[in-house]
């Protein structure tokens, strides 16, 4: 089944995965507004959710507000810091529960992530009769994820559309770390 204007679409964005992929691969930021536009592809957007981890950085509030202004419902979770200093923060279970919960109300699930942990979710949604599309940068996308999806959209194929320059403060931080 191809994309058609009557399809109801739900978009689920693993923001951390996309943020670090674009930063580490290209020294850039993901343009989430453009990603949403491509994900919907002139179909009926039912819901777009951006899943973020709060790390208490100064630019964070502006970033979350920008996501909201671009049409995303922003779901936040605090970064867990363990006694030994290890940090953890992911939304895999939350994304899976939301996608499954919404499956009866949409025709297409668009997962914006390269994380191979979502393969069982894709398989389950397909079992329910859902079309599942994945959008990610091919360089950091799990091959099993790409294989499982009904359609894979490589964000690297149009970098000028899906990437934005990093703010100067972040570029300086990255330069210090690599230098």
- Report the CATH number at residue 82: 3.40.50.1010
The angle subtended at Cα 150 by Cα 128 and Cα 13, nearest 5°, is 85
Domain presence at residue 95: yes
90 Cβ partners below 8 Å, 6+ apart?
16, 53
Domain presence at residue 2: no
CB contact at 8 A, 76 and 102: no
The angle subtended at Cα 163 by Cα 36 and Cα 10, nearest 5°, is 15
Give pLDDT tens digits for 95-150: 999 999 999 999 999 999 999 999 999 999 999 999 999 999 999 999 999 999 99
Domain presence at residue 3: no
Q: Where are the alpha helices (DSSP H) in 55-105?
A: 60-69, 92-102
Mean per-residue pLDDT for 1-14? Answer: 89
The Cα–Cα gap between 59 and 44 comes to: 32
Domain presence at residue 1: no
Residue-range definition of the domain harbouring residue 90:
8-178
What pTM was computed for the model? 0.89
Distance of CA 117 to CAs 16, 99, 141, 173, 179, Å?
14, 14, 11, 30, 33
Q: What is the pLDDT of residue 172?
A: 61
Mean per-residue pLDDT for 147-167? Answer: 91
Give pLDDT tens digits for 51-108: 999 887 778 888 899 999 999 999 999 877 777 766 667 899 999 999 999 999 999 9
Domain count along the chain: 1
Checking if the pLDDT of 32 tops 60, the result is yes
Q: What is the pLDDT of residue 57?
A: 78
Domain presence at residue 28: yes
Q: What is the pLDDT of residue 170?
A: 57
Q: What is the pLDDT of residue 114?
A: 97
Q: How many residues does the chain have?
A: 179
Backbone angles phi, psi at 118, to 5 degrees: -90, 0
């Amino acid at each position: 089944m191809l994309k058609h204007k009557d399809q109801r679409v739900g978009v689920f964005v693993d923001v951390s995965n996309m943020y670090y992929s674009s930063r580490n691969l290209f020294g850039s930021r993901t343009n989430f507004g453009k990603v949403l536009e491509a994900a919907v592809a002139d179909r009926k957007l039912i819901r777009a959710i951006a899943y973020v981890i709060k790390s208490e950085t100064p630019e964070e509030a502006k970033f979350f507000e920008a996501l909201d202004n671009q049409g995303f419902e922003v779901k936040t979770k605090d970064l867990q810091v363990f006694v030994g200093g290890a940090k953890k923060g992911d939304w895999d279970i939350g994304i899976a529960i939301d996608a499954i919960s919404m499956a009866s109300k949409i025709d297409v699930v668009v997962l914006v992530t390269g994380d191979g942990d979502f393969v069982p979710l894709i398989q389950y949604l397909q079992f329910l009769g859902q079309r599942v599309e994945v959008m990610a940068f091919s360089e950091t996308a799990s091959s099993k994820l790409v294989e499982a999806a009904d359609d894979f959209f490589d964000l690297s194929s149009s970098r000028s559309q899906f990437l934005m320059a990093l703010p100067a403060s972040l570029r300086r931080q990255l330069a210090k770390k690599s230098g």
